[in-house]
Amino acid sequence: MTSDPLSIVDAYFAAQSARDFEAMRGFLADQGFCYRSPIAMFDRADEFIQYAAVSSGIILDREIRKVFVDGDDICHFMTYRIQISEKLAVEAAQWSHVHEDRIQRIEAIFDASAYRELFPSDEPAP
């Protein structure tokens, strides 16, 4: 069933909020998938979903503040409320590209300093 790109990304976000990782995976491309953020990079959807399942516990909720649509590209500006050692609000932008009714690329941009303090590493950030 063909849907418009915004509906696909919105359904993906609904599955993410419900912590329905199987449904989330269903919205991601099987071939050519790419995820990039300040703290993680994945080129395979299955590995990304495994990461999402482990890391989702810190997300308390999400507020979508603004959405822009440009053809197959969808950009969400949002605020995540997370709990690491204390509750934080993290402003984020997520750019999703939909190809053949599946999300092929996700690029998330946010201030990752709280994560880096919690999980220090000798390796440079991606």
pLDDT, mean of residues 22-39: 96
Q: Are strands 102-110 and 41-42 parallel, antiparallel or unpaired?
A: unpaired
Give the CATH number of the domain where residue 56 resides: 3.10.450.50
pLDDT, mean of residues 53-75: 92
Task: Decide: 66 and 77 in contact? Cβ < 8 Å.
Answer: yes
Task: Decide: 65 and 77 in contact? Cβ < 8 Å.
Answer: yes
pLDDT, mean of residues 64-70: 97
Residue 9 confidence (pLDDT) above 60: yes
Dihedral sign from CA coordinates of 86, 87, 89, 90: positive
Instruction: Tell whether 110 is covered by a domain.
Output: yes
- Nearest CA-CA partner of 106 in 51, 37, 20, 15: 37
Instruction: Tell whether 125 is covered by a domain.
Output: no
Instruction: Tell whether 124 is covered by a domain.
Output: no
Instruction: Tell whether 126 is covered by a domain.
Output: no
Residue 118 structure tokens: 């919690």
Q: How far apart are CA 22 and CA 16, in angstroms?
A: 10
Instruction: Tell whether 55 is covered by a domain.
Output: yes
| Domain tally, the chain | 1
* Structural domain of 18: 5-118
So what's the pLDDT on residue 122? 53
Instruction: Tell whether 52 is covered by a domain.
Output: yes
Q: What is the average pLDDT score of the chain? A: 89
